[in-house]
Amino acid sequence: MKKSIILILAILCCVGSTVAANKKTVRQKNPFMSEYKTKYKIPPFATIGYQHYLPAVEAGIAQQNEEIQAIIDNPQAPDFENTVLALDNSGATLNRVSYVFYALSESDNTPQMQELAEKISPMLTAQNDDIYMNDALFSRIKAVYDKADELKLTDVQKRLTEKYYKRFVRNGALLSPEMKDSLKAINTRQAAIELSFANNVMHEMSANAIFVSDPAQLSGLPQQTIDDAAAEAVKRGQPGKWAFTPRGATRLDVLTNADNRELRRQMYETYMNTASRGDQYDNSANINALIQLRKKKAQILGFETFADYAIDPVMAKTVENAENLLYQIFNPAVEKVKEEVADMQAYADAHGGDFKIAPWDYYYYAQKVKNERYNFSADEVRPYFELNSVVKNGIFYLAKRLYGLNFTEMPDAPKYNPEVTVYDVTDAQGKHVAVFMTDYMPRETKAQGAWMSEMSSEYNYKGVSERPIIYNVASLTPATPTTPSLLTLDEVETVFHEFGHALHGMLTRAPFRSLAGTNVDRDMVELPSQINEHWAYEPEILKNYARHYKTGEVIPQALVDKILESGKFNKGFVMTELVGAALLDIEWHKLNWCENIDIKGFERYVARRIGLPAEIQFRYRSPYFKHIFDNDQYSCGYYTYLWAQVLEADAFERFREEGALNTAVADDYRKYILEAGDTEDAMKLFVRFRGHEPNADALLRNLGLK
């Protein structure tokens, strides 16, 4: 639309005098542009709008660039504080907006957030590249790294310096300008593809559903699952029917309980074909592109494969070490599967099942055999696992019992969603430790799975102390009009698991942000979460939270015995699924050829190569394997869950030997694992707590595989 020349000139005359005022106004109105004034500096979510993210990211990048230039231009010789620490503390505005942006991209991923992500993700990737390929900045980091002894750095200062030096090198600091440009292009393209991959999975999980019109097909399903499906059908415009989505709790309820074999098959195949149906949300092209880009990236940085690049800096060190550990678990697990399948086939044959056990039968018949063998049904214990009690009388009681922590709800605290609950965490002396947020209910805009992250990190150096803001997110069984949220055993374990991560984040005492909390080696990060699952079934803890939601009755000892007796049941299947997925991940990233790969064909090849039983498919098929394809955090790193299981099983044996609720042992665990962060080599910290390096024997005993 045209404007008259006179009007434009008149406007331009006013611009010069108002630019400064406008910048100030924008800064004042954008919540990200200054330090939060809320209690404990919780993000003021009510005042944050979609319009604030992009300007804050742009301003945050500009601010960080100025801070980095100041580091480079500093006339003083490089030292720890004017170079390494200054870099670690740079980008306050960018950090504020990034924390909230990433949190809501996963937990409230509305179309507006998806649109923002398409703009912001490439900007953040480019900023990361600009920092870690900055020759002048790297020169100062290297100067401190080379003269660490001469500068008399403390051990923890050396640790942070070394971490940055290696991070620069792994991000291309030693490359030629031409190769740096190539790496930047790869990173930018990779970020866009990873975002597309994640969006495709989220769309498929939200859009796909199986509709049932015949009530006879509902046989065996819990009434709560049926009621949820009826409500889902109404939401999807088909009242009078039942709609079952492939999301976690619903999918497992159908596969475990539905007597109708066809319904189980439909559910299984709907889930297994997520993002691989050949339509616009098919992730096959994204996977091919990512594998090619990652291979090129690894080779540019001097590694033969991306697997070599990914595993080099963590505890395992080599692909061979990671695979050796995985096969120590996989081979006994596969042998156990043969027994489990034989038991299920015998049960099916005895009850009129004229068919061979297929993958969609596994959960159903495993549950039948378990019920018969132990006279136990998961639905029998579900009324004792009310979510509020699992949280307040379970994980919070455990935290108080072992670490002296108290959790006080903050009803007036800012929340990014009304379903979020915020707690002030204090120690035994009443001193503030952290803010903890929980977000447990499913939403269409929430990503699949469960996770922990932070809204701000910990810092404790030279009298300046900032405590973290930590959150847990999951999609657990929701309440119904007649019952509260009643959890499955798996969901109870999920709550304890993610709370283990939260404790790692909340209790950290590392002095510097990049060494604090969960900023540890990938194959160490799952230790605190997985070890925490053990306490879910510790008798004192279990009886404190497992109370009938109607009567308040403590779970009967007979049921507790059944839970414990059946705890090792079906572990062959569980571990074969897990290790199979980890081996698939490694096989993808060991590839030296990677053009136009048939995804299903490659998966069949890997399944044959490793000896995956026919009755089991990979826990995550590649097109929805978000751990490894929607970011680089767990790329060629899914094995770390198994590595960490070896660590936690060995570590928990010390609690078994000296007392599961022994506060002296808990003090050591807190000191060497939860508080230490990445202040020291992960293996050294483990040995300080346990007294020896870990091996797989304890895990195999726990699982009944040895």
434, 470 contact by CB (below 8 A): yes
Q: Which residues contact 495 (CB under 8 A, 6 or more apart)?
A: 387, 390, 391, 394, 395, 440, 472, 474, 476, 487, 536
Cα dist from 652 to 487, 658, 690, whole Å: 25, 10, 9
Handedness of CA 280, 284, 287, 288 (dihedral sign): negative
Distance, first Cα to last Cα, the chain = 77
d(CA 406, CA 472) in angstroms, rounded, equals 17
Catalytic residue among 498, 526, 577, 587: 498
The residue written with tokens 């469960």 in the block is: 450
Does the annotation mark 553 as catalytic?
A: no
CB 170 within 8 A of CB 204: no
Strand 451-456 with 469-473, pairing = antiparallel
Which residues are CB-neighbours of 251 under 8 A, at least 6 positions away? 244, 245, 267, 271
Kindly tell me the burial class for residue 498, based on how many C-beta atoms sit within 10 Å of its own C-beta (0-12, 13-18, 19 or more): buried
Burial class (CB in 10 A: 0-12, 13-18, 19+), 396: buried
Neighbours of 366 (CB within 10 A): 23
In 3D space, the residue among 185, 177, 193, 102 whose CA is nearest the CA of residue 133 turns out to be 177
Chain Cα centroid distance, residue 622: 17
Contact 387, 476 (CB under 8 A): yes
Q: Annotated active-site positions, please?
A: 498
